[in-house]
Amino acid sequence: MNQQSVSNSSFSQSQIAETDFEKRRGISHVEVRTGLTQVHVLDLPQPIAKSRINVLQAVAEAGVSLDFLKLTPTGLSFIVVADKTQTISETLGKGGFSNQLDTNRGIVLVHAVNMRDEEGMIATILQRLINSGISIDHASDMHDRILIVTEESQAEKFKSLIEGGALNG
């Protein structure tokens, strides 16, 4: 690194060209991940917090990784990759946990920078999805994206809507 002092340095014109910085507001792009199954575990006995731990213990012992865990009034639901559907079905069956498996699920990742500071942005995305007739199984967010679980066919429909500019207006 050059340690030359500033008094005898000269900064070239190439260093002072205007540059674009922050990404534009709103949705930048959409990704779809497919091949997922949503698992609903229902009617767990009380105390429900303990029962949920028992379910998670069984799933962990079966070596299955889960995403989008959601606590429901009588149990919990989560997402697994489709090739673990059979394992999950057997594991929950063996544990005596009543369950429902919805296959053909996908995750839509809507990328939009700094969404927490754009007032109402998450609500905007959800409202417009609902208005487009797309059913949402689950949603969560990160600093630069919102993740939505839906049917695979709906995920592709949503992606097309975005690509058609329907959600940025």
Partner 1 sequence: MANNLHIMKFGGTSVATPEARMTAAMRVISAKEKGVNPVVVVSAIGRKGMPYATDTFINLLREIDPNVEPDPRELDLLIACGEILSAVIFAHTLKTLGHPAMAFRGGQAGIRTDGVFGNARIVSINPTALFRCLDQGAIPVVCGFQGTYSEDRSLPGGELTTLGRGGSDTTASALGAAMKADAVEIYTDVDGVKTADPDAVKEAPTLRQVTYDEVAEIAHLGAKVVHPRAAEIAMNYNIPLWVKNTFSDDIGTEIVSRDKFPGRRVTGVTHTGKLVYLQFNLSASEKAHRATLESSIYGTMERYGVQLFMLNVSPASTGFAVPRDQYPIVQDVLDGLVIPVGDADSRVVYVFQLGTATPEVETQVQLLKSLGEVRRINAVLTEGCSMVSLVGHEYMQQPGVFLRALQVLEEEQISVLQTSDSDFSLSVLVPEADTMRTVKLLHQRFGLAEVV
**Span of 92-100, 131-139, 156-164 interacting with partner 1 by CB under 8 A:** 131-139
Q: Are 37 and 101 in contact (CB under 8 A)?
A: yes
Q: Are 124 and 113 in contact (CB under 8 A)?
A: no
d(CA 2, CA 17): 22
Of 46, 83, 123, 169, the residue at the interface with partner 1 (CB under 8 A) is 123
Residues 62-91 that bind partner 1 (CB under 8 A): 62-73, 77
Q: Are 108 and 148 in contact (CB under 8 A)?
A: yes
C-beta closer to partner 1: residue 123 or 164: 123
**Span of 23-31, 93-101, 151-159, 160-168 interacting with partner 1 by CB under 8 A:** 23-31
Count the residues of the shown chain that bind partner 1, applying the rule CB under 8 A. Answer: 69
Which amino acid is residue 140, in one-letter code?
Answer: S
Give the side-chain half-sphere CA count within 13 A for 93: 7
| End-to-end Cα separation, the chain, in angstroms | 47
Q: Does 46 bind partner 1 (CB under 8 A)?
A: no
**Span of 88-96, 119-127, 157-165 interacting with partner 1 by CB under 8 A:** 119-127
d(CA 53, CA 113): 35
Q: Which residues contact partner 1 by CB under 8 A?
A: 1-7, 9-11, 15-25, 49-50, 52-53, 56-57, 59-60, 62-73, 77, 113-114, 116-120, 122-124, 126-127, 130-131, 133, 135-145, 147
